[in-house]
Amino acid sequence: MRRYVFPVIVAVLVAVGWVLVLPPAPMAQPIAFNHAKHASAACVLCHQGATTGVRAGIPQADTCTRCHATAPGGKISEAAWTGIASGRRIAWQRLTRLPDHVAFSHRRHTGPGQLACASCHGDVAQRTAPPDRAPVRLVMTTCLSCHTREGASEDCAGCHR
Amino acid sequence: MSRWGLVIDLDRCTGCQACVVACKHENNLPFSTPETADVGRLMTWIQLVAADLPGRPMPSSLPLMCQQCDRPPCTDVCPTSATYLNPEGIVAQIYPRCIGCRYCTNACPYAVKIFNWTEPEWPESMAGMRNPDVSARPKGVVEKCTFCHHRLIAARERARVAGRELAPEDYVPACVQICPAEAMTFGDLSDPHSDVAALASGPRAFRWMEELGTQPKVVYLREGE
Amino acid sequence: MSDAPSRRDFLVYSGAAIAGVTLGETGRRWLGRMDERAAGWRDRGIETFAVSVCRECLAGCGIRVRLVDGVPVKIDGNPLCPIARGRLCAKGQAALESYFDPDRLLGPAHRIARGGPARWEPLPWKDAVALAADKITRAAGTPDGIVVVAADERGPEAEAWTRVWRAAGARLAWTPQPTAVRLRPRLRHLTGAEADPIFDIEHSSYVLSFGAPLADDWLSGVWAQRSFGRFRRGVASSRGRLVQIDGRRSATARKADEWLAVAPDQQSALAYGIASVLFRENRVDRERLASVAGNLGNFEHQLLTYYTPDNVASETGVPVVTILRMARELVATPRPLVIVEAGASVALVDAVLSLNVLIGAIDRRGGLFGRGDDPLPERDDAAAVLRDVAEGRLRPSVLVFADSSALRALGGPNRPETLAERVPFVISFSPYVDEAAAIADVILPADVPLERWHAMVPAAALGAEVIPVAAPAVKRRLDTRDTGSLLHALAVAIGGPVEAACSWTSSEDLVRAEVKRLATAKRGTPFVTTYETEWMQQLESGGWWAQAADSDAAFSDRVLASGGWVDPYFDAGQLTEALRGGRSLSFPLPEALPSAQIAGRATGADAAAEPPDTRFPIALVAFQPAVAATSGNANLPALFELLGQPDGVPWSLWVEIGSELAERLGVQARTRVRLTSAHASLDVMAVRVEGMPAGVAALSIVPGAQTAGRWSRLIGKDPRRLWGNDPAARACAVQIARI
């Protein structure tokens, strides 16, 4: 029996260590979207809530089909495109996420706050392939350093909800 | 700087508890069960309590929520500064900072800070019912009425985007908005022209347990002439 | 054992390491996915608002639903609705939980195996409708045929309902509207006016209430609450005084300046006693009364003879000085008003209406008005009809329920199961697993209110004529149908005259037709702000009847967008006119108080006349807490948390007992007691109420709370079993013991 105990312990330790030491798993997007190719258009063209809403939103097919009449060449199979164009949900993985207890509004920061998208989202607009994790790691200090610099509210309850 | 305050006219209040349901839905308060209610763990930020008020023939129903004290006993005892008095007079509770020691629930003379004994859970079909503007507090933290602070944030943002000052009607907590007897008035106590300031300095105004020196910003107007 | 690892060890440990890495990587990806899922997916968090109509009671408040990405998250009052004015009661808000109710019916179903525990199987719509239609067709020839029961909601859907069932030869019965039970018929009896009584609480200076739940949900909940608030603290008037005469310490009694504990069956004696004092002390305007009332002399004579303060005092237990004081107080302020519970006895309603005449409250600001209407059709009371069925006096072959309102009425049958035993086939249209569903053989679930098209006539409370109208606020969540299409499908399946009677295909048709009718009425307006509504009333009172120059389509859009239609015109002289133009006022001639009984009580020989059962010495009366008395879904957890507050017994039923009995039983806070009647026993929480008369106890009843779903089942047994098969409207003799 003892023959198996040590190998099993080793396997478990390696598994736990793997999860703890490595950064979160890369996120694979369902479509290899090329931001750089679309960047001549304003971000808000597809992320429609970026200046008007709490969430910027990730576009669904109805947004794509306003410009694309057919499957964008080479990046996506004809069959997948028909499915998407007929209204099937694109299972985008959200990369930049905030915890449930943070109240963040895009409109507030892009409007009165006059922040550029890149301040929080980094160079995502120049990426030719979808990044596998958020280009900028957002922690509370990221928010606070800017709030201090710009003289914005530093009241905890202003963002914590 | 605004100083938010709430006036409840007990002469108008009928004790219908519409405010309790409004608060429950607005602030994602999970449902209780007979067992949790029986041991006093009802998840409500506002609740009717029986109170013996002078000059009344029988106990009155007092809608009681966090009194948003100007000298809050709860913030003094918080070891992690999870609860503090914010510049606008709202006693805030920052859930990720809260370690669930419950010192504040003991310090509060009004017993309106409640502890999450269980993970907040809704049946699957009700997942969509939750207000996205308010977080669901995890098990093990203390929570309380915030004067619907998320509504203030949203209202201020709307006003800023429209390029105007915050108007009194822009920011109203859910309980005040729903009150069918029109018993609740909300506003800025520091504005001498506001309705709340006028009512709070009127002859019927009193604060619950004001002898403790907590200086609440929830003001009750007593029943009777 | 050597120090160097063997080849075997090497292989085993490398294998373990590889296994560990694989496991770790799988775990890491799994965690990532879980994380994504936990973050939740809200599309863009776009907030929209939709108007709808609250159908939790018959008040017809306009509501505004807050939707985020099309999903409802909160219900408020519609600010433009003249009934709700942006406010809402607890029940109305809880409709949100009805929409999301995890225990709602998923779609049509039929019962397999009658009797025993209910088991249903899903059925496609086509088959379910065909099954119902077949039973209805067969039942048409039988003697008692089909009995159809619904809440008395008025409006196009109710008319469609009536037309289809009339054509099918069914007998229709209704759970009556609050004013239609007694107030309206007795007002007609008194004044001859065909009108709904409108009580102007808001402007009165003194309200004497005979059991009216003014602080709860009297006639129209949100209106009552607003009226109460403004009555207490009007903008430009002094504080109104409220005296509540009530058998128990209701929410209104708690708010009142004075509460007199008088049992409902003794309240009419008190009302007439007060009237007799008014006559005796010459506090009535005889000249004015004589000009309108034919039988004033008789009335006065009757009162002065039989309802002397002494007689009334010994009948009701209210001291003579209090009766005298009540009468004097009543006429001491400028605008007094007397109100009464909607379901009170004929004698009490007559007494209260007469008192209003005596104090000059008719057609007076802060008084009692009439709002003219067409004569009401005679309608059978569903509770009585169902009692007949339960007791075998009526033997229909098919019983149809639009909702469970009739099974929740306190005077209805206490055991719905007996209906299922008596009637071969039961059909329910309710979308909830309620009492009707519990006995139904086939369930054809209709949409819940947020999913419905609305156009209805609200319970009468306001002077203005209001018709709330709305399109569905949200998408249909489950496999349900709107009432209009359900009736259509059923009519087509039945065929013949029933199909011919059906001129619509869906509720949308019915509502749009109603809006078209309103457009051609050339009066009133789509809901506008309170200010604009008042302005329009001024115009109309001045004879200016203009409607905004809209096309029908634009008018229809405006009505649907604002949530309804209102004609603020109000003829404040309706009752006076009826008196002047028609017959004169005829006072009810109250029966003499049984003098023998009075004499007996005075000498304390009462016990001999009516020997009390020593085993069951306490008279138990039932009441329904307003917060949980819905006509729709009964599986609403937010409401159960409100039960019993502020005395602190949420989620449970309670019995209110006087301090004397509480003392004897040693009842403290949260003491449980056992109630035992001749039929059953029940364990409940006891609440001590100062001032409750000895020998009486009041038990809360939450109707529908035993079958509806996971939360409702937590409330426990149906207390109506204490009454046996007798309806719970009457007092029941019980014994109370501490557990």
Domain boundaries, chain B: 4-221
Chains that touch B (3 or more CB pairs under 8 A): A, C
| Residue whose token pair is 């209001």 | C466
Chain segment C173-187, per-residue pLDDT in tens: 999 888 888 899 999
pLDDT average, residue stretch C499-526: 92
Q: Indicate the residue type of B219.
A: V
Query: How far are the Cα atoms of A58, A80, A83, A84 from residue A89, in angstroms, in the given order?
Result: 11, 11, 9, 7
B123-177 tens-digit pLDDT: 999 988 999 999 989 999 999 999 999 999 999 999 999 999 999 999 999 999 9
| pLDDT recorded at residue C599 | 43
Q: Is C522 exposed, middle or buried (0-12, 13-18, 19+ CB in 10 A)?
A: exposed
Least confidently predicted of C576-585, C625-634, C692-701: C576-585
Helix (H, G, I), strand (E, B) or coil at A37: helix
Antiparallel, parallel or unpaired: β C671-676 and C618-623: unpaired
Q: How far is A47 from chain C (nearest CA, A)?
A: 9
Is the Cβ pair B157, A99 closer than 8 Å? no
CA-CA distance, C223 to C89, in Å (whole number)? 10
Contact call for residues C125 and C113 (beta carbons, < 8 A)? no
Fill in the DSSP letter of residue C457: B
From residue C338, alpha-carbon distances to A118, C227, C245, C274, C324 in Å are 70, 14, 11, 11, 16
State yes or no: pLDDT of C561 exceeds 80: yes
Q: How far apart are CA B205 and CA B223, in angstroms?
A: 10
Minimal-distance CA residue of chain C relative to A95: C36
Token pair, residue A28, equals 């694979």
Q: How far is A155 from chain B (nearest CA, A)?
A: 7
Model confidence band, residue C41 (pLDDT cutoffs 50, 70, 90): low
Question: pLDDT by residue (tens digit) across C446-487?
Answer: 999 999 999 999 998 998 999 999 999 999 999 999 999 999
Contacts of A155 in chain B (CB under 8 A): 86-87, 92
pLDDT classification of C583: cutoffs 50, 70, 90: low
CATH fold for domain C199-213+228-372: Dimethylsulfoxide Reductase; domain 2 (3.40.228)
* Chain A neighbors of C70, CB-CB under 8 A: none
Distance from CA of C228 to the nearest CA of B (A): 7
**Which residues of chain A from 70 to 109 reach within 8 Å of chain B, CB to CB?**
99-101, 103, 105, 107-108
Per-residue pLDDT tens digits for C661-701? 999 988 887 789 999 999 999 999 999 998 888 889 999 98
DSSP helix, strand, coil percent of chain A (3-state; round to 5): 40, 0, 60
Buried b / exposed e across C473-483, counting CB within 10 Å, b at 16+?
A: bbeebbebbbb
Distance of CA A40 to the CA centre of its chain: 20
DSSP run (H or E) holding C23: helix C7-39
Q: Within the 201-220 window of chain C, which residues sit less than 8 Å (CB to CB) from chain B?
A: 215-216
Q: Which amino acid is at C628?
A: A
Q: What's the mean per-residue pLDDT of chain C? A: 88
Is the torsion defined by CA of C90, C92, C93, C96 positive or negative? positive
- Which SS3 state, helix, strand or coil, does residue B110 take? coil
Tokens 């104090």, residue located: C359
Instruction: Round the average pLDDT of chain B to a whole number and report it.
Output: 94
pLDDT (tens digit per residue) in C276-322: 999 999 999 888 888 777 788 888 988 999 999 999 999 899 999 99
Predicted local confidence at residue B103, as pLDDT: 97
Cβ–Cβ under 8 Å, residues B64 and B15: no
CA proximity to B91, closest of B217, B196, B7, B220: B217
**Does the distance separating the beta carbons of B129 and C71 come in below 8 Å?**
yes
Section B30-56 average pLDDT: 90
Regarding beta strands C195-199 and C206-210, do their DSSP bridges make them parallel or antiparallel, or are they unpaired? unpaired
Q: What is the dihedral of CA C318, C324, C325, C330, to 10 degrees?
A: 110
Q: Look up the pTM and report it.
A: 0.92
SS3 (DSSP) at C392? coil
% of chain B residues with pLDDT over 90? 86
DSSP character string of C464-506: SEEEEEE--SS---SS-B-HHHHHHHHHHHH-HHHHHH---SS
- The H or E element that residue C174 is part of is strand C171-175
Q: Is the pLDDT of residue C607 over 60?
A: no
What is the nearest CA distance from A111 to chain B, expressed in angstroms? Answer: 7
Residues of C in contact with B181 (CB under 8 A): 225-226, 228-229
What distance in Å separates residue B11's CA from the closest CA in chain A? 33
> Phi and psi at residue B47, in whole multiples of 5°?
-150, 150
For chain A, which residues make up each domain, given as ranges?
A: 28-159
Interface test with chain C among A5, A19, A21, A133, by most C beta carbons within 10 Å: A19
Q: Domain spanning C612-738 has what CATH number? A: 2.40.40.20
Could you give the CA distance from residue A74 to residue B187 in angstroms, rounded to a whole number?
60
Question: A71-88: per-residue pLDDT in tens?
Answer: 777 667 787 788 877 877
* Over residues C140-156, mean pLDDT: 90
- Do the chains contact at C102 and B132, CB–CB below 8 Å? no
Pick among B157, B158, B160, B164 to test the A interface (most A CBs inside 10 A): B157
Per-residue pLDDT at A62? 82
Structure tokens given for C30: 């799994």
Judged by CB atoms closer than 8 Å, whether chains meet at A156 and B160 is answered as: no
The chain B residue lying nearest C649, using CA atoms, is B38
CB contact under 8 A, B181 and C225: yes
Give the distance from CA C26 to its chain's centroid: 57
Of C402, C674, C88, C43, the residue nearest B18 (C-alpha): C88
Structure tokens at C58: 């018959």
Better-predicted residue by pLDDT, C595 or C364:
C364
| Residue among C72, C89, C100 whose CB faces B180 most closely | C89
Q: What is the CATH number of domain C47-100?
A: 2.20.25.90
- First CA to last CA across chain B, in angstroms? 35
- Nearest chain C alpha carbon to B127: C100
Length reported for chain C: 739
User: What is the interface size between B and C, counted as CB pairs within 8 Å?
Assistant: 169
What was the ipTM of the complex prediction? Answer: 0.96
Please indicate if any CB of chain B lies within 8 Å of the CB of C44.
no
- Classify domain B4-221 at the CATH class level: alpha beta
pLDDT in tens, C222-262: 999 999 999 999 876 789 999 999 999 999 999 999 999 99
Quickly list H helices, chain A: 2-21, 35-38, 61-64, 78-85, 106-110, 118-121, 140-150, 156-159
Distance CA(C463)–CA(C574), nearest Å, equals 11
CATH class assigned to C109-177+378-567: alpha beta
- Chain B residues 162-221 within an 8 A CB cutoff of chain A: none
Kindly determine whether residue C75 and residue B12, on different chains, have CB atoms separated by under 8 Å.
no
Is B69 in the A-facing interface, judged by CB distances under 8 Å?
A: no
| B59 CA: distance to closest CA in chain A (Å) | 36
Per-residue HEC secondary structure of C106-155 comes to CCCEEECCCCCCCCEEECCHHHHHHHHHHHHHHHCCCCCCEEEEEECCEC
* Contact of B32 with C650, CB cutoff 8 Å: yes
Residue of A nearest to B96 (CA): A101
